[in-house]
Amino acid sequence: MITLPEQLEKLSKQENLIAQGAESLVYSAQHPYLPQQECIVKYRPKKPYRLPELDAQLSKHRTLAEARVLQKLALGDVEVPHLVFIDAKNGLIYMEKIEGLSVKQWIWNEEGDTEGGAQEAGDKSRSLPDGDVSSLKDTLVLVGQEIGKLHKSDIVHGDLTTSNVMLRDGKPVIIDFGLASVSTLAEDKAVDLYVMERAVLSTHPVHSQQYCDWLFEGYLAVVGKSQKEVMRKLEDVRQRGRKRSMLG
Protein backbone atom coordinates (compact mmCIF):
# COMPACT_ATOMS: atom_id res chain seq x y z
CA MET A 1 0.00 0.00 0.00
CA ILE A 2 1.28 3.41 -0.94
CA THR A 3 0.85 5.99 1.76
CA LEU A 4 1.29 9.71 1.59
CA PRO A 5 4.46 10.73 3.47
CA GLU A 6 3.53 12.44 6.73
CA GLN A 7 5.34 15.62 5.70
CA LEU A 8 2.72 16.06 2.97
CA GLU A 9 -0.37 15.44 5.07
CA LYS A 10 -1.22 19.13 5.19
CA LEU A 11 -0.39 19.81 1.54
CA SER A 12 -1.70 16.89 -0.43
CA LYS A 13 -3.88 13.80 -0.44
CA GLN A 14 -3.39 10.20 -1.43
CA GLU A 15 -5.53 10.86 -4.51
CA ASN A 16 -3.07 13.48 -5.72
CA LEU A 17 -0.50 10.83 -6.57
CA ILE A 18 0.15 11.48 -10.24
CA ALA A 19 2.87 9.00 -11.01
CA GLN A 20 4.56 6.04 -9.47
CA GLY A 21 7.96 5.04 -10.79
CA ALA A 22 10.45 2.42 -9.73
CA GLU A 23 12.19 4.83 -7.38
CA SER A 24 9.76 7.55 -6.60
CA LEU A 25 6.23 8.74 -6.10
CA VAL A 26 5.14 12.04 -7.61
CA TYR A 27 2.38 14.06 -5.96
CA SER A 28 0.74 17.27 -6.86
CA ALA A 29 0.46 19.38 -3.73
CA GLN A 30 -0.28 22.78 -2.33
CA HIS A 31 2.81 25.03 -2.40
CA PRO A 32 4.50 24.91 1.03
CA TYR A 33 5.01 28.67 1.33
CA LEU A 34 3.16 30.48 -1.46
CA PRO A 35 -0.57 30.87 -0.84
CA GLN A 36 -2.93 29.61 -3.56
CA GLN A 37 -0.20 27.96 -5.58
CA GLU A 38 0.50 24.38 -6.44
CA CYS A 39 3.70 22.43 -6.75
CA ILE A 40 4.98 18.95 -7.51
CA VAL A 41 6.61 16.79 -4.86
CA LYS A 42 8.84 13.89 -5.80
CA TYR A 43 9.19 11.44 -2.96
CA ARG A 44 11.66 8.60 -2.68
CA PRO A 45 10.11 6.30 -0.10
CA LYS A 46 11.96 3.93 2.14
CA LYS A 47 12.53 0.51 0.67
CA PRO A 48 11.74 -2.22 3.19
CA TYR A 49 14.29 -4.58 1.63
CA ARG A 50 17.25 -2.23 2.06
CA LEU A 51 19.18 -1.87 5.28
CA PRO A 52 17.65 1.12 7.09
CA GLU A 53 20.88 3.14 7.46
CA LEU A 54 21.91 2.49 3.89
CA ASP A 55 18.40 3.21 2.69
CA ALA A 56 18.22 6.62 4.33
CA GLN A 57 21.60 7.51 2.86
CA LEU A 58 20.68 6.37 -0.61
CA SER A 59 17.42 8.25 -0.81
CA LYS A 60 19.07 11.37 0.60
CA HIS A 61 21.92 11.05 -1.85
CA ARG A 62 19.65 10.63 -4.87
CA THR A 63 17.32 13.39 -3.82
CA LEU A 64 20.26 15.77 -3.50
CA ALA A 65 21.78 14.61 -6.77
CA GLU A 66 18.55 15.41 -8.59
CA ALA A 67 18.22 18.79 -6.85
CA ARG A 68 21.81 19.73 -7.72
CA VAL A 69 21.21 18.98 -11.38
CA LEU A 70 18.09 21.16 -11.36
CA GLN A 71 20.09 23.97 -9.77
CA LYS A 72 22.99 23.63 -12.19
CA LEU A 73 20.56 23.88 -15.09
CA ALA A 74 18.72 26.82 -13.52
CA LEU A 75 22.01 28.72 -13.78
CA GLY A 76 22.02 28.21 -17.55
CA ASP A 77 19.53 28.31 -20.37
CA VAL A 78 17.83 24.92 -20.20
CA GLU A 79 14.16 25.02 -19.18
CA VAL A 80 13.57 22.78 -16.16
CA PRO A 81 11.24 22.98 -13.12
CA HIS A 82 12.38 25.47 -10.46
CA LEU A 83 13.27 24.18 -7.03
CA VAL A 84 10.74 25.02 -4.33
CA PHE A 85 12.18 23.13 -1.37
CA ILE A 86 14.47 20.21 -0.58
CA ASP A 87 13.86 17.88 2.36
CA ALA A 88 16.78 15.58 1.72
CA LYS A 89 16.49 13.69 4.98
CA ASN A 90 13.00 12.52 4.09
CA GLY A 91 13.71 12.07 0.37
CA LEU A 92 11.47 14.90 -0.85
CA ILE A 93 12.01 17.43 -3.62
CA TYR A 94 9.38 20.12 -3.98
CA MET A 95 9.43 21.73 -7.41
CA GLU A 96 7.52 23.98 -9.71
CA LYS A 97 4.55 22.37 -11.40
CA ILE A 98 4.83 22.57 -15.17
CA GLU A 99 1.40 23.14 -16.68
CA GLY A 100 0.97 21.36 -19.98
CA LEU A 101 1.17 17.99 -21.67
CA SER A 102 4.09 15.65 -22.06
CA VAL A 103 5.54 15.65 -25.57
CA LYS A 104 4.36 12.05 -25.78
CA GLN A 105 0.73 12.92 -25.10
CA TRP A 106 0.91 16.02 -27.28
CA ILE A 107 2.20 14.02 -30.26
CA TRP A 108 -0.47 11.40 -29.73
CA ASN A 109 -3.10 14.13 -29.74
CA GLU A 110 -1.67 15.70 -32.89
CA GLU A 111 -1.55 12.35 -34.66
CA GLY A 112 -5.01 11.45 -33.45
CA ASP A 113 -6.53 14.70 -34.66
CA THR A 114 -5.57 14.04 -38.22
CA GLU A 115 -5.21 10.30 -38.49
CA GLY A 116 -8.06 9.09 -36.36
CA GLY A 117 -5.65 7.58 -33.86
CA ALA A 118 -2.24 6.70 -35.15
CA GLN A 119 -1.66 4.17 -32.41
CA GLU A 120 -3.93 1.50 -33.72
CA ALA A 121 -2.55 1.71 -37.22
CA GLY A 122 0.71 0.07 -38.16
CA ASP A 123 0.83 1.55 -41.63
CA LYS A 124 4.32 3.00 -41.76
CA SER A 125 4.00 4.29 -45.26
CA ARG A 126 1.41 6.84 -44.28
CA SER A 127 2.71 10.37 -44.36
CA LEU A 128 1.76 13.19 -42.03
CA PRO A 129 -0.80 15.62 -43.45
CA ASP A 130 0.69 18.97 -44.38
CA GLY A 131 -1.18 21.09 -41.87
CA ASP A 132 0.32 19.33 -38.87
CA VAL A 133 3.74 18.73 -40.19
CA SER A 134 4.66 22.27 -39.36
CA SER A 135 3.57 22.21 -35.73
CA LEU A 136 5.02 18.74 -35.16
CA LYS A 137 8.22 19.72 -36.86
CA ASP A 138 8.55 23.05 -35.07
CA THR A 139 7.93 21.46 -31.71
CA LEU A 140 10.28 18.52 -32.18
CA VAL A 141 13.03 20.81 -33.44
CA LEU A 142 12.58 22.86 -30.26
CA VAL A 143 12.76 19.71 -28.15
CA GLY A 144 15.96 18.73 -29.96
CA GLN A 145 17.40 22.17 -29.24
CA GLU A 146 16.54 21.87 -25.55
CA ILE A 147 18.32 18.50 -25.40
CA GLY A 148 21.25 20.08 -27.22
CA LYS A 149 21.43 22.84 -24.61
CA LEU A 150 21.28 20.20 -21.88
CA HIS A 151 24.29 18.40 -23.34
CA LYS A 152 26.11 21.67 -23.86
CA SER A 153 25.72 22.17 -20.11
CA ASP A 154 27.43 18.80 -19.65
CA ILE A 155 24.42 17.12 -18.14
CA VAL A 156 23.26 13.77 -19.43
CA HIS A 157 19.67 13.00 -18.59
CA GLY A 158 19.74 9.23 -18.33
CA ASP A 159 16.13 8.68 -19.36
CA LEU A 160 15.33 10.85 -22.37
CA THR A 161 11.85 9.89 -23.43
CA THR A 162 8.97 11.87 -24.84
CA SER A 163 7.22 11.58 -21.46
CA ASN A 164 10.14 13.28 -19.72
CA VAL A 165 9.78 16.44 -21.80
CA MET A 166 6.70 18.58 -21.25
CA LEU A 167 5.31 21.46 -23.30
CA ARG A 168 4.46 24.68 -21.50
CA ASP A 169 2.84 27.17 -23.86
CA GLY A 170 4.38 25.21 -26.70
CA LYS A 171 7.93 25.42 -25.29
CA PRO A 172 9.75 22.32 -24.07
CA VAL A 173 10.61 21.86 -20.40
CA ILE A 174 12.72 18.84 -19.48
CA ILE A 175 11.74 16.95 -16.31
CA ASP A 176 12.78 13.87 -14.32
CA PHE A 177 16.45 14.19 -13.52
CA GLY A 178 16.43 11.12 -11.29
CA LEU A 179 19.02 9.37 -13.44
CA ALA A 180 20.92 12.45 -14.60
CA SER A 181 24.61 13.08 -14.09
CA VAL A 182 27.35 15.49 -14.98
CA SER A 183 29.47 14.34 -17.91
CA THR A 184 31.63 15.91 -20.55
CA LEU A 185 32.04 12.61 -22.41
CA ALA A 186 30.73 12.31 -25.97
CA GLU A 187 30.07 8.65 -25.27
CA ASP A 188 27.64 9.45 -22.44
CA LYS A 189 25.81 12.01 -24.56
CA ALA A 190 25.59 9.50 -27.40
CA VAL A 191 24.03 6.92 -25.07
CA ASP A 192 21.52 9.57 -24.00
CA LEU A 193 20.59 10.14 -27.65
CA TYR A 194 20.39 6.43 -28.30
CA VAL A 195 17.93 6.03 -25.41
CA MET A 196 15.92 8.87 -26.95
CA GLU A 197 15.84 7.19 -30.35
CA ARG A 198 14.71 3.90 -28.89
CA ALA A 199 12.03 5.64 -26.85
CA VAL A 200 10.69 7.48 -29.90
CA LEU A 201 10.67 4.23 -31.86
CA SER A 202 8.59 2.43 -29.26
CA THR A 203 6.29 5.32 -28.33
CA HIS A 204 5.71 6.80 -31.79
CA PRO A 205 6.40 3.88 -34.13
CA VAL A 206 4.62 5.15 -37.23
CA HIS A 207 6.66 8.29 -37.77
CA SER A 208 9.63 7.62 -35.53
CA GLN A 209 12.20 8.19 -38.25
CA GLN A 210 10.75 11.55 -39.18
CA TYR A 211 10.48 12.60 -35.52
CA CYS A 212 14.08 11.61 -34.81
CA ASP A 213 15.25 13.56 -37.85
CA TRP A 214 13.56 16.68 -36.50
CA LEU A 215 14.94 16.11 -33.02
CA PHE A 216 18.45 15.80 -34.45
CA GLU A 217 17.94 18.86 -36.62
CA GLY A 218 17.31 20.91 -33.46
CA TYR A 219 20.03 19.13 -31.49
CA LEU A 220 22.74 19.69 -34.08
CA ALA A 221 21.79 23.32 -34.51
CA VAL A 222 22.81 24.09 -30.92
CA VAL A 223 25.50 21.65 -29.75
CA GLY A 224 28.28 23.19 -31.77
CA LYS A 225 31.75 21.76 -31.96
CA SER A 226 31.18 18.60 -29.95
CA GLN A 227 28.62 17.32 -32.46
CA LYS A 228 31.00 15.37 -34.69
CA GLU A 229 32.32 13.27 -31.88
CA VAL A 230 28.91 12.71 -30.32
CA MET A 231 27.42 11.60 -33.64
CA ARG A 232 30.34 9.30 -34.29
CA LYS A 233 29.90 7.71 -30.86
CA LEU A 234 26.18 7.45 -31.49
CA GLU A 235 26.89 5.38 -34.59
CA ASP A 236 29.04 3.04 -32.43
CA VAL A 237 26.33 2.77 -29.81
CA ARG A 238 23.71 2.01 -32.46
CA GLN A 239 25.90 -0.74 -33.89
CA ARG A 240 26.43 -2.29 -30.50
CA GLY A 241 22.68 -2.14 -30.03
CA ARG A 242 22.08 -3.94 -33.31
CA LYS A 243 24.60 -6.65 -32.44
CA ARG A 244 22.99 -7.14 -29.10
CA SER A 245 19.55 -7.55 -30.61
CA MET A 246 20.90 -9.98 -33.22
CA LEU A 247 22.35 -12.13 -30.47
CA GLY A 248 18.89 -12.02 -28.91
Judged by beta carbon, residue 17 or residue 133, the one nearer Mg ion is 17
Catalytic residues: 159
Q: What angle do CA 102, 199, 202 make, to 5 degrees?
A: 105
| DSSP-H helix ranges across 19-102 | 52-74
Radius of gyration of the CA atoms of the chain, in A: 19
The span from the first CA to the last CA of the chain, in angstroms, equals 37
> Which of the listed partners (other proteins, Mg ion, ligand ATP, none) does 76 bind, with a CB threshold of 5 to 8 Å by partner kind?
other proteins
Judged by beta carbon, residue 7 or residue 164, the one nearer ligand ATP is 164
Asked if 169 and 142 count as a contact pair (C-beta separation under 8 A), the reply is no
| Half-sphere exposure (Cβ direction) of 248: Cα atoms closer than 13 Å | 0
Q: Which of 111, 146, 176, 197 binds Mg ion (CB under 5 A)?
A: 176
Judged by beta carbon, residue 79 or residue 115, the one nearer Mg ion is 79
Judged by beta carbon, residue 180 or residue 186, the one nearer ligand ATP is 180
**Residues near other proteins (CB under 8 A):** 7, 10-11, 30, 32-35, 64, 67-68, 70-71, 74-77, 82-89
Q: Which of 70, 107, 147, 175 binds ligand ATP (CB under 6 A)?
A: 175
Does 78 appear as a known binding residue?
A: no
Does 135 appear as a known binding residue?
A: no
The answer to the question of residue 111 lying near Mg ion (CB under 5 A) is: no
Asked if 140 and 211 count as a contact pair (C-beta separation under 8 A), the reply is yes
Polymer length in residues for the chain: 248
Q: How far is the CB of 159 from Mg ion (least distance, A)?
A: 6
| DSSP-H helix ranges across the chain | 52-74, 103-115, 130-152, 186-203, 208-223, 227-247
Q: What distance in Å separates the CA atoms of residue 107 and residue 157, rounded to the nearest whole number?
A: 21
- Applying CB under 5 A, which part among 85-93, 119-127, 135-143, 162-170 lies near Mg ion? 162-170
Burial 18-33 (b: 16+ CB within 10 A, else e): eeeeebbbbbbbbbbe
DSSP assigned state of 202? H
**Per-residue contact string for residues 7-46; x = within reach of ligand ATP by CB under 6 A:** -----------xx-xxxx-x-------------x-x----
Asked if 153 and 236 count as a contact pair (C-beta separation under 8 A), the reply is no
Q: How far is the CB of 246 from Mg ion (least distance, A)?
A: 30
Asked if 218 and 144 count as a contact pair (C-beta separation under 8 A), the reply is yes
Residue ranges for the known binding site are 18-26, 42
Binding-site residues from annotation for ATP: 18-26, 42
Residues that bind ligand ATP (CB under 6 A): 18-19, 21-24, 26, 40, 42, 81, 95-98, 102, 159, 163-164, 175-176, 178
Enumerate binding residues for Mg ion (CB under 5 A): 164, 176
